[in-house]
Amino acid sequence: AQTIHQWPVAEIKAVGSPLSLGCTIKGKSSPNLYWYWQATGGTLQQLFYSITVGQVESVVQLNLSASRPKDDQFILSTEKLLLSHSGFYLCAWSPDWVNQDTQYFGPGTRLLVL
C-alpha cells in the first residue's frame, strides 16, 4: 500500500524567515507529485506539479519554489516568508499521467506566518 507523509505537521514562522516543507511517498514508483495551498476555510490552489525527478512545473507564482530531489520526495520552500503564505499546504500524488484526476493527499502542514 502507498503512504504519503508530510513534515512538519505545523509551523509558526516569522515574516522574512525561510521555509522548507517536505513530502514523501512510499510504495509507488515514479508518481506524479503536486503541491497545493489552502487558505483557512478556502479552496485549494495548485502550486506545483512534478512528473519526474528533477522536473517541476509552476502553476501559480506565490514567491515559493519546489524541487524533486528524489523519485519519492517533493520539497516546497522559500527564502523569505510573507504573511500571505499562511495556510494549509497539501502534497498529493497520482499514479500516472492518465489518472492524474485521481489524486491522493497527504495529511497537510499548517503554516502560520507572524
Partner 1 sequence: TQTVSQSDAHVTVFEGDSVELRCNYSYGGSIYLSWYIQHHGHGLQFLLKYYSGNPVVQGVNGFEAEFSKSDSSFHLRKASVHWSDSAVYFCAVTNNAGAKLTFGGGTRLTVRP
Interface residues with partner 1 (CB under 8 A) are: 32, 34, 42-44, 46, 49, 51, 57, 59, 90, 92, 97-98, 100-108, 110
In whole angstroms, the minimum distance from the beta carbon of 42 to partner 1 comes to 7
In whole angstroms, the minimum distance from the beta carbon of 81 to partner 1 comes to 22
What are the phi and psi torsion angles at 84 (to 5°)?
-70, -10
Comparison of 1 and 98: residue with beta carbon closer to partner 1: 98
Closest to 22 measured CA to CA, from 75, 90, 78: 75
Q: What cell numbers appear for 6 in the block? A: 508530510
Comparison of 18 and 53: residue with beta carbon closer to partner 1: 53
Comparison of 18 and 42: residue with beta carbon closer to partner 1: 42
Task: State in Å, rounded, how far the first CA of the chain is from the last one.
Answer: 38
- Strands 109-113 and 10-13, how do they pair? parallel
What are the phi and psi torsion angles at 83 (to 5°)?
-55, -35
In whole angstroms, the minimum distance from the beta carbon of 113 to partner 1 comes to 19
Comparison of 81 and 108: residue with beta carbon closer to partner 1: 108
Find out whether 19 and 111 touch, Cβ atoms under 8 Å: yes
In whole angstroms, the minimum distance from the beta carbon of 80 to partner 1 comes to 26
